[in-house]
Structure 1
């Protein structure tokens, strides 16, 4: 039996308007984002990561919130402390800064390198399509996303792929709705999905 190859990884918590997010990264890029990362949810997420990556990720130093820049960085370029810091810690810094800008209202796309090793096959194909071609402030139906990846009968499988997304927010499964326009399900909870869609101007801001 072959042991799982160890992928050096690091993790950190980032406080956001939707609660604490666990961010984890390898040498390749950001590998995992987990909602509501506190208590047992955090413990279970770290245990899963250890098993999938073949070793326990190390905790990175917390970073201060980054101010929203006057001009967004050019596509494909990191900004802030990650620009000259390769490796898991550098990817975490880039992801944290990008999320700070996102929650401050910036519509710029996420350009942080991603490690897709926690997904594969059909799920990965759908998630890559979603990340590349469903931008900020837009939505797509499960059926339309199935059509985009060339499998028109796979709307239900698209829903499964969204539920298994290891990189929510950054890979925006909150932008996938039912064909009727109904909000559909969401692994982070429907209130979290509504908050993200409201932030992007797709839904009205909640009254309270």
Structure 2
């Protein structure tokens, strides 16, 4: 397995109860939900429950060899199409213990109007830093974005990744690699 420090965070735009019209109350079993893809034909969407995305399981429960094996990831995705009754049992099988915490940061100052805080969820952390230090680092990284003289809402590495993804999408004039289409990957 990979032994480099790892910190997985998400920055939701809306609180979960507003975004999905549901409040997640079972914090022992974090769930990452995706909206089913639209398809052509009658109905326009896939039937059945929303898919559980095994991103968190993928980062915490599988070896590097298994991560690169398409059949394992495909089988994992098939077995994570769960109904609410099956969710607890199936997810618990892949994730034994997760230390999850969240925090809010207001990095900008405004002279008129209001600013909304950015909500950070730390899903997986092997960096060894205390939560206070992660919060301070996140705050300071909002001040070091090269393309803007002021403070930005999200940390600079996130802005750089977003900008890089946009530029790659605009400059590579070819179809994406089909082997990546069914895998979870990050830029």
TM-score, length basis structure 2: 0.31
Q: Which one scores higher on RCO, CA 8 angstroms, separation ≥ 6?
A: 2
TM-score, length basis structure 1: 0.28
